[in-house]
Each structure stands twice: as structure tokens, then as C-alpha cells.
Structure 1
């Protein structure tokens, strides 16, 4: 399954790209690659947090939800940015990528007032 994703602003470090494809990475069970449409070498790996952090339940601000046209939590699909470290796979729980399932609009948001790590190692 490949999906079209349009970021409302370029993801940090990936400017000027805003249009991406979201593709599962083989049969990894929740790992996806976001690839820039105009330059497929520009990519970001994201994880479905439900597959790796089952109790992850961030709360978006009203302005973040409105900016993506989210009317309910069911409209949103969350991903956490993944990166390799010397200790293993790390994820950013404070700045998830939020995707509107219906429109394909997305943003990487910084969660407000939530005590979540920017660098969490997966067990």
C-alpha cells in the first residue's frame, strides 16, 4: 500500500519537499518510508507507534488539529520518526508526524505540555 502525503510545511531538514509517498518497508510490521516525490533519495523512516509503543497517546492542540482538518481522533494516523543509534532504534515521541487519513495532509508537530522524550530507545 502506497499513499500520497502532502505536508502543510516541509518536515524539518527536508525542505523544500512537501509531497511524499508513504510506503511500508517490506514486511517490517509498522516501519514505513516517506520518500519525496521529486527526489526519492530524500526520505524519512517512520514507525506506527502502536506497533512499538502501545501506550503512546499524545494530545494535539486545537490549532494543530484544525491545521490538518482533523474533526476527530479517528481522522488522524500517527507516526514517530525513527533513527538508528549506536544503542539501537530510537524514536522521537515529542514530535510525531500526524496524517489526516482522509485528505493526505500531514505535519510533524511538536506536542505542547507533554513530558515525552525526543530520543527514546525501543526495547
Structure 2
């Protein structure tokens, strides 16, 4: 089931404010984020990176209108390549599951890599 999302500021490298998040059939926790002719692959961190627990600032929580941690869907941008897939842990995409508002956030004062190798499962 696809979800229509609104981004007050588009994810890096994309334009517009309306996007569709769609699960990739046969791949648990893998999504495409499509908008304005461009696409990103996103992984559900809860499925693929259960130990990944970034801390959002108060301003970031406010932008998304989050009132409870369980309302936040935490996704990371995946970059598939022939030599392996990397994920961006420094700038996750967070979606408010109640309001369908999303944002790609830059984590401040946290030691996460921009390109972390994704271990095969």
C-alpha cells in the first residue's frame, strides 16, 4: 500500500513537496520515495538497522509534529551499487505516521556515517 507524503522541504537532491512512499514487493522494509520524476530507495531502520537510534532535536520533532516516539517512522536512504549497498545514517528520513508529513533531517552532534555499508542478511 502506497502512502502519499508531504515534505515541507524536499529530501536532498529532489524537488517538490508531494511524494509517494511505496513498499518494494518481495523486499521487507524496502521502499521507493517518488516525486517529481525522481526516486530514492529507503530502508525501514526498524527492520534493517534495529540498533540505529538517532536522537532528534526539539526543532526537528516540532517540524514533523511528533507527539510520541511511536508516531515516527525512521527510514534511511539506501545507495545500491555493484560493490555493495551503503546507507546514509547521518541524514535519515523521518515520517510522522499520523500526519504523513516527512523530512530528511541532518543529525547534529551525533557520530553517524554518511555512507555506512549495509550488511547482508
Normalising by the smaller structure, the TM-score range is: over 0.9
Residue 30 (structure 2) pairs with residue 31 (structure 1): yes
Q: Is the 8 A contact 1:11 1:18 kept in 2?
A: no
Normalising by structure 2, we get a TM-score of 0.94
* Alignment partner, residue 7 of structure 2: 7
Residue 19 (structure 2) pairs with residue 20 (structure 1): yes
* Alignment partner, residue 120 of structure 1: 116
Map residues 68-83 of structure 1 onto 2, 5 A cutoff.
Answer: 68-83=64-79
SS state at 2:74 partner: strand
Q: 2 CA distance for matches of 1:103 and 1:54?
A: 24
SS state at 1:93 partner: strand
Q: 1 CA distance for matches of 2:29 and 2:44?
A: 5
- Which segments of 5 or more consecutive residues in structure 1 lack a partner in the other structure? none
Which of structure 1's runs of 4+ aligned residues deviate more than 2 A?
none
Residue 86 of structure 1 deviates from its aligned partner by: 4.1
SS state at 2:27 partner: coil
Q: 1 CA distance for matches of 2:96 and 2:81?
A: 30
Deviations 1:67-101 (A, max 9, x none): 11001111110100000234201100110000000
- Which segments of 5 or more consecutive residues in structure 2 lack a partner in the other structure? none
* Alignment partner, residue 89 of structure 2: 93
Residue 112 of structure 1 deviates from its aligned partner by: 1.1
